[in-house]
Amino acid sequence: MGRFRRPAFMLFVLIGFACGPSFDPNEFMSFFMPEAGNARPEDSRYIFTPQFYNDAESYEQYGQAPAPVIDENIEAWGNYTGNKLPDTLISRALYDEESTAVRALRSGLERENPDAVAYLTFAWAADNGQGDPWNPNASKVDSTRVPQALDEAKKRYQTTTDAFLKERYAFQTVKLASEMGNSKQAQQLYDQLVNPLPKKTFISDWALCRRAGASLVLGDTAKAIYEFAQVFDRCPSRRKAAETSLRKYGIQFREKALQYAKTDGERAAVYALCAIQPGIPLGGTGALVMLREVVRLTPKNPLIELIMAREINRNEYYFFMTDDEYTRNNMRVTPDSSGFVNRKSQAPAYFDELRSFALESANNKALADPAFWYTAAAYLDYLGKDYSAAQTHLDQADQSPATNKTLTAQIAVQRMLLLSAQTEAITSETEKQLIGYLEAFDSTGNFRINNAYVAVCKQFATKYTYQDAPKSGWLSSCSRAKTQPKTGNDRAKAYLFTILTAQPGADSYFASTVDPHAIDDTVSSVTIQQTVRFISQPNQTDFDKRLIRLSTLTIDQLTLLLGRRLMMEHRYAEAADAFGKVDPNLWQNEPFTRYFTINPFAIKMPRLVAVDQAGGAKTASASTGVNFPAEPQSNPYTPVQFARHMADLEKQAQSATGDQAAELYYQLGCGAWNVSWYGNSWLLVKSYWSAGEPPVYDVPTDPVAKQKRFDALMNTDYYTTSHAKGYFEQSAKAAKTPALADRSAYLAARCEAHAFAVQRSIEQIRNGYVYEEDSTFVKNMLTLRKTKYARAYNEFFKNRQRSLFEKEMIRECAMYKNFLTFGEENGN
């Protein structure tokens, strides 16, 4: 599936508050895929993430109609019963206590093994409703029966000769003591009943997990770490419970835990479990120190590459993210910003340490995957801008055997990043290499690949636009440009690369991608014209054809966008020409049949009686052109006709005088007003409308970039309606009839208020998202309006009583008196 990128010509419309897409909660800026290592699927939840885990645990546990659990216990019962019953039935009987499954399991055991039936009856009674906590019909636990059940388990342990059942009764005693809250007894029962067993299975590890919990409750954290580590290392069915027991309390490595270990494997288990915990500080016994020990003690440990990838990702999180982004994230525990800044400053040095370890590991014969380690080293070379070493190590990775498809993709991603980083002047050979990578990674469900894809597209967009631009910072080769592109083709290619940064699929949204609307709102009409010529030109190169195909752009889409951009720039005659080249059937379909239905020369206002030049009232049937146009649902204009009429009005107004000129300029003002955010024809300049505009909240954190964004907003006519204001002022100046002058002066003042509203929203952000009702803010804004945004208002306010306009507006328009309040407060 190709990328879903249809900028301004997108035919859907956003009405209401503009809400961002739903991103993967594990997203952060990272280019290194942890799946490139040899981590087992069941361990993927321990991959680094800003979240608690790298999965959706609630759905995992409490999803609708979950599949039967087939774990070690179910398989053990299957073997114990001679594999006469399917595992799914045993699972439903043991864990879900489905009546039909329970009866089937009972009947299968009653004749040959009544002791097993007795154990199951006991176990079901001991659980007594401790199933799905979200089930409102689950039976309540009868705590008074737990001591009785514990005594019964002890007796049955002593009397049974069946080793399979004996181990389970031992487990039940430890579990029941824990549920009673008697942690000391739980430890003792484990030592007395489980430890002596001549043969232990995973059930003993279940009991050990309970004992570890008791150790934690009793304050012996080091012993608990050791015990949980052994469960995590050797018991798949309690692996999650053991690890979560440390994670949810933020428990970190303690040297004393190693004192309980008897073998290298047990010591490595402690290091491995602690190395995958979140929040490990640098220095002291950090994760890299623990990783070195795991490699030394158990070089075949399956967590080694996961821990390495985790450390790269963990350091990326600090390395790429800004302080402000960090303080606004939704981590469960967020340290203070000064701590984050300190950790961020250490990131480059830690990358160097990881790089050295990766190279050591690539040459470590005890480790069986040199391709992974060379790839990791090459990535760390890239981050350190040692591109030559990165190239060498990627070549070594390619020469090493690799069976992991994700590792192969990771190598290709890094080659794409390197190509972009090393390209100073774009050549045909560069384009040939680049287009292959773009096609390979154009459609992805992996946010890290998308991060790299978007970063490279941004960088090449800048390289085509400003080929002599110096590099400055991560992902920011988009700044400090010096030289304009030499040809229109370069600008067109830059635009196509910008398009490639838009959303990557109808089902996938990533935080690193660029909102296509933001591209539409900033591209110039000149760039679109050059892109149309580029796409239409004969003798295209292979790269040109493939780049155009990736963008999914068509001439018709670009022409519609061109018309919109020309309308935004108020170049009406050219916009009419562009709209005229679009398939006319488009105007007869959504969204134009829904959002371009009102007269684009109408502004909803009360209907006034006609007046003469002296201000006296005439009959309602008389007409001097004073009345405001109605707003019929049947719009008489197509976009082509509207743009053409605006061009004609401009031409006519140039030679007109008096009331005739006033009326022409008034209509131009209405047309310009209606293609703004406040009007009824915004669809002719944008593909969407949102009540959340103007977009003052989502601004850069960098002060210089933030000011540039604010400056751009204050110069965006779509929000300030400054062009319409100019037309209305010309109308008021030319008018001989007072009512005509008042009408246009009033609307010019309304446009001035629009500009002030944008400035006020910006000032709210500048003042730390202050409340509009804050008394100091209100006072400051009143001063700002008086000094910068009151000229047109004062002009209207002083002369508003020259005609019937004032009386009719007060009678017909409830908001008009509120509008006058500012003038009255201002002493006019």
Segment 149-174, tens digit of pLDDT: 999 999 999 999 999 999 999 999 99
pLDDT at 2 over 50: no
Segment 357-390, tens digit of pLDDT: 999 999 999 998 999 999 999 999 999 999 999 9
Q: Are 562 and 600 in contact (CB under 8 A)?
A: no
pLDDT at 694 over 60: yes
Q: Are 351 and 320 in contact (CB under 8 A)?
A: no
Segment 633-669, tens digit of pLDDT: 678 999 999 999 999 999 999 999 999 999 999 999 9
Give mean pLDDT, residues 663-676. 96
Question: Which residue type does 27 have?
Answer: E
pLDDT computed for residue 231 by the predictor:
98
d(CA 68, CA 350): 44
* Least trusted range by pLDDT, from 482-491, 708-717, 784-793: 482-491
Closest CA to 508 of 449, 421, 425: 449
Segment 308-355, tens digit of pLDDT: 999 999 999 989 887 555 545 444 455 556 667 777 888 899 999 999
pLDDT computed for residue 709 by the predictor:
87
Strands, DSSP E only, in 431-483? none
Q: Is the Cα torsion angle 683, 686, 691, 693 positive or negative in sign?
A: negative
d(CA 717, CA 671): 13
pLDDT at 17 over 60: no
Closest CA to 31 of 387, 452, 371: 452
Segment 138-148, tens digit of pLDDT: 555 566 788 99
pLDDT at 480 over 50: no
Segment 397-409, tens digit of pLDDT: 999 987 799 999 9
Q: Are 694 and 710 in contact (CB under 8 A)?
A: no
pLDDT at 280 over 90: no
pLDDT computed for residue 97 by the predictor:
84
Q: Which two tokens stand for residue 451?
A: 């991060």
Taking the alpha carbons at both ends of the chain, their separation in whole angstroms is: 64
Kindly report the pTM of this predicted structure: 0.85
pLDDT computed for residue 483 by the predictor:
59
Q: Are 6 and 552 in contact (CB under 8 A)?
A: yes
Buried residues in 386-420 as b, exposed as e (16+ CB within 10 A)? ebebbbebbebbeeeebebebbbbbbbbbbbbbbb
pLDDT at 733 over 70: yes
pLDDT computed for residue 68 by the predictor:
84
Question: Which residue type does 516 have?
Answer: P
Close Cβ partners of 484 (under 8 Å, ≥ 6 residues apart): 465, 466
Q: What are phi and psi of 617, to 5 degrees?
A: -75, 145
In this prediction, residue 616 has a pLDDT band, given cuts at 50, 70 and 90, of very low
pLDDT at 620 over 80: no
Segment 87-117, tens digit of pLDDT: 999 999 998 889 999 999 999 898 889 999 9
Q: What are phi and psi of 387, to 5 degrees?
A: -70, -30
pLDDT at 482 over 80: no
User: In a 3-state reduction of DSSP, which class is residue 757?
Assistant: helix
d(CA 156, CA 169): 7
Closest CA to 800 of 775, 824, 825: 824
User: In a 3-state reduction of DSSP, which class is residue 252?
Assistant: coil
Q: What percent of the chain has pLDDT over 70?
A: 83
d(CA 288, CA 272): 11
pLDDT at 56 over 90: no
| DSSP structural state of residue 259 | G
Give mean pLDDT, residues 404-432. 95
pLDDT at 760 over 50: yes
